[in-house]
Amino acid sequence: MKISSRIFLGYFLIVAIAAWFVLAIFANEVKPGVRQSTEDALIDSAQIFANIAAQDIQNNHISDGNIAHAMAQINQRPQQFNIGGVIKNHVDFRVYVTDTLGIVLYDSMGKDVGKDYSRWNDVYLTLRGQYGARSSPTIAGDDSSTIMYIGAPIIIDNQIAGVLTVSKPNSTLMPIITRSTDRITQAGVVLLGVALLIGLSIMWWINRSIRTLEHYANDIAAGKNVPQPKLKSPELQMLGNTIAHMREKLDGKEYVEQYVHSLTHELKSPLSAIKGATEIIKEQPPQEVQNKFLDIIECQTSRLQLLTDSLHQLADIERAPALTLKPVALRPLLSQAFSSQQSELTRRQIALNIDLNSNPSIAADEFLISQMFSNLLDNAIDFSPNNSRIHIYDEPSLTHHRISIRDHGAGIPEYALPHVFEQFYSLERPHKAKSTGLGLNFVREIMHKHGGTIDVQNAADGGVLVKLVFPKK
């Protein structure tokens, strides 16, 4: 079972048990609560009626006095009450009066006049100055048939002259109790439904976050360069950071292994040449031969020095943290690169045309961008034939700055196009020795640091076209 499912089941179980416990308490408290409220109302009613009954007894009109007249009118009057959705169409209220001996003097139902009620608690206890109340079933053993009786003393001349009792069947309270219980049950069902939705939402969120991390880990395992996902949970985000850190470590290890392998391969050729030349010089050949091999050693040493300098330069840009960018105008940088290569351009009769419709400005590190243009211009010159032309121009765009550098050389062989950005990959140059193969890799790293892209392709009518895309900021 998934961890999210376990969390959901645990959560829902806790909520369900808590809801059942609380709802059970509420449901069990409804019945006694309603009866206690009814008892309180009957106590007040009995006290009021007892004062009226005292006047009727003094006037010797207990059977036809104020109480008898009021009860007769209530029972004859049509009734229609809506108590919170419970319809009541008659008065379930009984009143009877007993003397000091417990003999019934008046009964609103008219059936128990003259009977001895002295043994019932409502009369017995009230006559002795205590709280008299009882609940008696009309059917033996049937709790639903019980009737609540509340007695109140009839006081005349500060003496108890009798008892007035009011009663109400508990069965009349059942619709209210049932309605309240049903509402509590409905609220419980809604509560469980809401808890279920919340639990499902939490489970969905956890599953989505875990799936995101799972896909991220699978992409890393597949060697894909994907960004680290942003997760709203601190714990899951920490796990994502750990995976990203592990990825950096693994990438760094792989990079170093590849780097060392490529570097070893690249150094092998000049070192072999230097070693061979040294061995021949040790044999002390004629001076002309020695000079020839000394030139070879010097050339290969220069190549090693250039390779070392390029590697340091590339390593610095790769290790560099986020750059501090500021607005840099491109036209002065291109003019500066043109000036530095003026002698070579003049010597080989190569025309350089800079056609910028405007003076585009980018957010950049000026030094790195200057180095990048110098590298690109060097490449264009090296692969351009004498008496040719190099064209630098921009293309209109609302969202980016697009700079293109075009030469009119032989172009790049189709087999070499996929490898031009690889470290130490270089082609033979018509007018210069083979390069280190790090220039375009260096340029790509600079573009990456600036959030841009570089594309190298053969032009349709000959030559190489380099496209640089900088974001507008």
Give the model's pLDDT for residue 149: 92
- Taking the C-alpha atoms of residue 328 and residue 161, their distance in angstroms, rounded to an integer, is 111
Q: How many CB atoms lie within 10 A of CB 304?
A: 16
Tell whether the model's pLDDT for residue 393 goes beyond 70: yes
* pLDDT computed for residue 151 by the predictor: 92
Q: Two tokens at 260?
A: 């060392």
Q: Report the percentage of the chain scoring pLDDT > 90.
A: 9
Q: Which of 293, 405, 280, 313 is nearest to 352 (CA)?
A: 405
Is 436 a residue whose pLDDT tops 70?
A: no
Q: Residue 238: what pLDDT?
A: 75
- Residue 256 pLDDT: 47
Highest mean pLDDT among 76-85, 227-236, 269-278, 341-350: 341-350
pLDDT at 195 over 70: yes
Q: Please give the C-alpha separations between residue 332 and each of 210, 215, 337, 373, in angstroms, as whole numbers.
A: 51, 46, 9, 11
pLDDT of res. 255 = 46
**Percent of the chain whose pLDDT exceeds 70:** 75
Of 218-227, 279-288, 301-310, 399-408, the poorest mean pLDDT is in: 301-310
Stated as kind and residue range, the H or E segment containing 466 is: strand 464-471
User: What are the tens digits of pLDDT across the range 17-53?
Assistant: 777 777 777 667 667 777 787 888 888 888 888 988 8
Predicted local confidence at residue 285, as pLDDT: 83
pLDDT on residue 471: 86
Instruction: Tell me whether strands 94-98 and 86-88 are parallel, antiparallel or unpaired.
Output: unpaired
Query: Which DSSP symbol is given to 417?
Result: G
Using the structure block, give the residue that is written with the tokens 């980016």: 400
Query: Is 455's pLDDT higher than 70?
Result: yes
For 444, phi then psi, to 5°, come to -60, -40
Task: Please write the tens of the pLDDT for every residue from 247-265.
Answer: 666 654 554 454 555 455 4
Reported as a single tens digit per residue, the pLDDT across 86-97 is 556 556 788 999
Q: Please give the Cα distance from 31 to 176 (Å, whole number).
A: 9
pLDDT of residue 165: 93
**Please, which pLDDT band fits residue 327 given cuts at 50, 70 and 90?**
confident
Q: What is the mean pLDDT of residues 359-378?
A: 80
Contacts of 231 (CB under 8 A, 6+ apart): 209, 212, 213, 237, 240
Give me the domains of the chain, ranges plus CATH numbers. 3-180 (3.30.450.20), 227-319 (1.10.287.130), 326-471 (3.30.565.10)
Highest mean pLDDT among 160-164, 172-176, 348-352, 414-418: 160-164
3-state secondary structure of 324: coil
314 contact partners, CB below 8 Å, separation of at least 6? 423, 438, 441, 442, 445
The pTM score is 0.41
> Tens of pLDDT along 97-151?
999 899 999 988 888 889 999 999 999 999 999 999 988 887 776 766 788 899 9
